[in-house]
Amino acid sequence: MKKILLTLAAFLMTVGMATAQSGKTSKLDVKKAGTAVVQKRGGIIDLNKKGMQKAPQKITLADNQKLMGPYTTDDVATSQQGLGLPNYPGELGVATLLEASDLVRFDGGNIVKMRYGLANATTVNSVFIYLIDTDGKIKEQLFAEPVTGTSVAGWNEVTLSKPYTLNLTGVAEILMGYYYTQSNANDGQYYNDECYPLSITGDVATPTFVYGNLGQGKGWYDLGAESYGSLSVQAVVEKDYPDYDLGLKNLKAYAYNKAGGKETFTFSISSFGKNVPQTYALDVAVDGQVVATYETPVALSDGTSALSGNIVLPAELAAGKHTLKLSVAKINGEVPASNTADDVVTEQFTVYTQSFPHQKQLVEHFTSTSCTYCPLGDAVLTALEGKRDDIARVSVHGIQNPNYPDPYNIEACDIIIGYEALAGFPSASYNRTAFDFGLGEGLTLTQSLGYNANYKDQVATWLSEAIDENGNEYPSFASINVAANYNPTDGKLTVKVNGETVGDFAAVMGADAVLNVCLVEDGLVSRQLNGSNWITAYTHNNVLRKYVSNVAGDAINFNGNSYENDYVVDFASNWKPENMRVVAFISRPLLSESLLDKFVTNTETAALTVGDPAGIESAKGDANGVSEVARYTTNGVRLSAPQKGINIVKMSNGETRKVVVY
C-alpha cells in the first residue's frame, strides 16, 4: 500500500489501500451503540499552530519488560481529536478488545503497570483487565486497581499494588481499560473540553467497548470506533522473554492492480525478544507462491518499525481477488521455532483488466444548520468545486444540536451518517474511500473540514490532489448516463440510469455492487449558526432531498455488460425543478461492516428537464470504455449537466455527438 505525500503539506496524506481495520467480532455479549453516541471534540484547524500532536511521554522498560496493548507506540490523540460520550454523564468503563491468540508471548508473565492516554484531562477511577472465555463469558476480573491523583492529558502510568499473572488457559479475549467519569459540563451551548477525554488513535484498529447504559440497559456496548484506531491503553508485562522474536502486523496492500503490475504494500515489524536480531528474512507470497524474499531490508530497533516494499505481480493472475502473504522466514539465519503465531500476515487485493474514465467525483458533505464551524467546511468545498469541474456534491444534513432541528435532515441522512462513521461536523467523504490525512484520526471515510478560513484554497488543492491519487488506485469499472424528467401534468419525476461495465465487473467490483440514485437541490435558505452568531438567511446548496434508490443502494439491472435502472418519483410540492439534480453512482454496499468496502467506482449527475418524459435522451457509452467526457451548448459554453435544447457531447474516443434534450 502506498501513502502518498501531497505537495504543500507534510501532514496531509492519502491512503487508498486496504488497512489494518480489524473487522473482529467478539463472542462477548455486547450491544451496538447507536449512531452519534461517541462524539468528537472538533474545532477550527489552524495550520499555523505548531505542536498539534502532544509530545509523547516515553516509558522506560527493563530488559524483562514489554508493552502489551492494541499498539505499543507512544501515539496519543490531541485535544481536538478527543472523543467522548457527553450525552451519557457519570461513570463509564472503556476498554479495548484483544484476542488471546495475539498475546501468547505474554502468557505466564506478570502485569506490573498499566498506562492510559487521554486527549483531555478527566477523572479516571480505576484500571482493569477482564478475561473472556471461549463461550464469550467474563471468566475473571484479573484486577481492578484504583487510580489516585489527577489524570492529565497525554499518558498516565499506574503501578499495580501487586503483580498479576496473565494465564490465558481457556481465555479467548481480554478487555483492558479503565473506568472514568464522563462529564457533560458546558457553557450553555457547547460541551467543554473535559467532555472529550478518550484517545482512540494509532495505525492499528481494534474494537472499543464502553460499559454503562447507552440506551439498551446496562452492559458492554461496541462503539464502532475502529475508524479512529485503538484505545490508548497498555500494560507492562514482565517475563523471561526469548532472545529473539519477531512479529508482523498491519499489512496494507494496494487495493487494485493489473496482472504483471507493481504491487506496493506496507507493514509493521516488531522485535519482542530480549535482543534485536542482526539479520532476518521475510518471504512475500501471492496466492501461496513465494515471489520474493527480503534479506534484512532495514536494521531493526527495539520496538516497532514501519516498512514498505513492492513486488511484480505474476502475469498470469486472473481478474478477481488474490491474497498477499508476508512471513518471517529466518531470524539470524535460523527458521523461527517458537512464538510463531504472529509470524504471518495476509491481505487481499484485486486484479482487473479493463477500466472506464472517471466521470464525476462523489463528495458527501456532512453539515448541520446548528453547527458553528459548518460555514468553514462549506467554503472549503466551494473552493474545491472552483478548482475542478467534476465534483458531484451531496450535502447530508444531520442534527448537531437537538435543541435546533435542521430543516433539511431526513431519515436517509441519519442512515448515511451512521454507516460512514462520521468524523463530526463539518466533514466530507470522497468517493467513500478511506483516507488518512495525517491528523491522528487514522484511516477514515470522513475527514474534518473545520479549517481556518485563511486556508480554504490550500486545503482545496490538497483535497483535489488526494482525489486524483485515489482515482489512480480505484479505477472506474462502469460508465454512467443519467436522464431525469419532471412532468408537471402528473407530478412525476422519471429517472433513467444506464451504462456499460467492464467484462469482469462482478469479479472486480463484486456481484453485490449497487446503484445509488439521489436527488439534491440548490438555493435553499434557512438560518445557519456561524461562530456564536446566527446567519438569518444562509443559502444551502446541493442539499440531499430524497434518496430515489434505497439508501443502501439498489441491485443493478444487467443485460450482459449493459445495465439500466428506471425510477418514478412523486415530486414534492416544495421542490423547485430548475434547482435540482439527480446524482447517480455505483458503489460497494453502504451497509458493509468495513469502511474499506464502501468505495464508489463512478458517478454522474443530470439536471432535471421539464415536459414530456418521452424526450429523455443521453449520450451513451459502450463496453469498449467510450463514455461522455464533456458537454457544451451550441455556442461552446461547457455544461455541468444536460441542458434543454441541443447539447454538443464530446466522447472519450474523440467523437462528437449532437444530443437533443427536451
SS3 annotation, 8-73: CCCCCEEECCCCCECCCCCCCCEEECCCCCCEECCCCECCCCCCCCCCCCCCCCCCCEEEECCCCC
Structure confidence at residue 313 (pLDDT): 94
CA atoms within 13 A on the CB side of 172: 13
For residue 184, is it left (φ>0), alpha (ψ between -120 and 50) or beta? Answer: alpha
3-state DSSP helix/strand/coil percent for the chain, to nearest 5?
Answer: 10, 45, 45
Q: Is-cis flag, bond preceding 426, omega within 30?
A: yes
Structure confidence at residue 13 (pLDDT): 24
Q: Could you tell me how far CA 621 lies from the centroid of its own chain?
A: 31
Q: Tell me the backbone φ, ψ of residue 58, rounded to 5 degrees.
A: -75, 150
23-50 pLDDT, tens digit per residue, is 455 667 777 765 556 776 666 666 655 3
Helices (H) and strands (E) in the chain, counts: 4, 44
What residue ranges of the chain have pLDDT lower than 50?
Answer: 1-23, 50-53, 440, 613-618, 623
Looking at residue 574, what DSSP letter applies? T
Please choose, from the candidates 586, 585, 565, the residue with its C-alpha nearest in 3D space to the C-alpha of residue 513: 586
Looking at residue 6, what DSSP letter applies? P
Q: Tell me the backbone φ, ψ of residue 230, rounded to 5 degrees.
A: -130, 155
362-387 pLDDT, tens digit per residue, is 999 999 999 989 999 999 999 999 99
Residue type, 250: N
One-character DSSP codes across 578-607 = GGEEEEEEEES-TT-SSGGG--EEEEEEEE
Structure confidence at residue 622 (pLDDT): 54
Burial class (CB within 10 angstroms; exposed 0-12, middle 13-18, buried 19+) of 593: exposed
501 - beta bridge partners?
478
Structure confidence at residue 437 (pLDDT): 58
Structure confidence at residue 20 (pLDDT): 33
Q: How many CB atoms lie within 10 A of CB 9?
A: 17
Please choose, from the candidates 270, 263, 259, 218, the residue with its C-alpha nearest in 3D space to the C-alpha of residue 66: 270
Q: How far apart are CA 43 and CA 40, in angstroms?
A: 9
Please choose, from the candidates 79, 91, 34, the residue with its C-alpha nearest in 3D space to the C-alpha of residue 191: 79
Cell of residue 353, nine digits: 483488466
Integer angstrom CA distances of residue 204 from 54, 73, 89, 305: 19, 11, 28, 13
